[in-house]
Structure 1
């Protein structure tokens, strides 16, 4: 069991629990593990769950990365989010009356995922009040993220969308020198634009003295002007 403790320490579900408490909970539930086809040298990704399939458990990333993707009939794929070690997926729908995955879940090479069923989630919440508190916090954060998404959709221009994204990172990282957690290609997909359009707008903002861009680092130079652009902070 102990080999799972370190990544689970990073998971909000087990926040403020001791190693012994985590180990004790794991010993009383029947979790399952998914390990990406480690022996396959040809594929870089593997589909863990397709959009529309039943979600009967939450997934916790123990190792590697998981991407939440939207697949369109014309072949277009948009990356909605990227999850690394300790992150959870499925928590908002596992107890829903319509517990279907709203997007496709893709694992990267050498990823390892722990699945915990809804029954075992209920058990852990019933025997440990901290787990219950953590799960409620997780769901509350999901609601706040949905509200943020609604705000994003209300923004009309690409510049407003970029600024909103950067200001969210500023709130999270608490520094004007922001490290982008995803590639610019993934960011363009997240914002729903072509990569050249994103690059062009970032260059325009740099030339206007609003930001400085260096690979995966974006430094905010004029936060007051950025806030005025969207007028919501």
Structure 2
């Protein structure tokens, strides 16, 4: 049984009392599994009925093309969810792989038991559904923004679209981004060397200043 002290802070449990977390996981028949770095959690081509909630560690979400080239689509860490959209669509095959990026513990929550409220309906169960919808809506907005950034024609335009968004979001001309160079290249779907070269040209052209993941728009 998972104790409340083992459950990391997460938007999924926002507004739910710590004492209620244990009972709701029991109600949902949550199953814990442990993985070592590199272990497969979900495989493309399979269908799932449960979403993953990370207790500790992190996972990498990626997609392989026909020729075996891998594109990293994202990461999920402690307190985050993955697979919830696919779990809501029974029979829909995964188009991504999920593997442990490090040693991790994951709780699997049956989406059917989440959406079918127990009788009598407990307040924390209703709150959980509300939180899940909020998380899925937020991820949808993030995906829309990513499509906008990736949809620009050149590497420079992709970088400027992303940096402009981060500047507006943080309301600063100087701001940090949550990516290193490889992660930023993966996010924008560009080659890392080409990205680094373009960043240097943009700096030379007086558009930006940067130091590691700290950027200033000029």
1:82–1:182 CA contact under 8 A, matched in 2? no
Match of 2:27? 28
Where do 1:190-201 residues align within 5 Å? 190-201=187-198
Q: What is aligned with 2:141?
A: 144
Alpha-carbon distance between aligned partners in 1 of 2:4 and 2:27, rounded to the nearest angstrom: 14
TM-score normalised by L of structure 2: 0.86
Point out where structure 1 has 5 or more consecutive residues left out of the alignment. 38-43, 223-233
Query: Equivalents in 1 of 2:160, 2:91: separation in Å?
Result: 34
> How many residue pairs get matched?
212
Aligned position for 1:81: 74
Summarize the Cα distance change of 1:78–1:164 in structure 2 as closer, same or farther, 3 Å threshold. Answer: same
Q: Which residue of 2 aligns with 1:71?
A: 64
| TM-score for both structures, normalised by structure 1 | 0.81
State the match for 1:55 in structure 2. 48
Q: Secondary structure at the match of 2:85?
A: coil
Q: Deviations over 1:16-53 (max 9, x none)?
A: 2221122221232211112113xxxxxx4222111111
Indicate whether 1:133 and 2:127 are aligned.
no
1-side partners of 2:169 and 2:34: how far apart? 31
**What CA RMSD, in Å, does the superposition of the two structures yield over aligned residues?**
2.2
Equivalent residue in structure 1 for 2:216, among 202, 220, 228: 220
Kept in 2, the 8 Å contact 1:78–1:190? The answer is no
Q: CA deviation at 1:174?
A: 4.6
User: What is the SS of the residue equivalent to 1:209?
Assistant: coil
Contact 1:124-1:131 at 8 Å conserved across structures = no
Given that 2:4 and 2:19 are in contact with CA atoms closer than 8 Å, whether structure 1 keeps it comes out as no
Query: Residues 69 and 4 of structure 1: is their aligned pair in 2 closer, same or farther, counting only changes over 3 Å?
Result: same
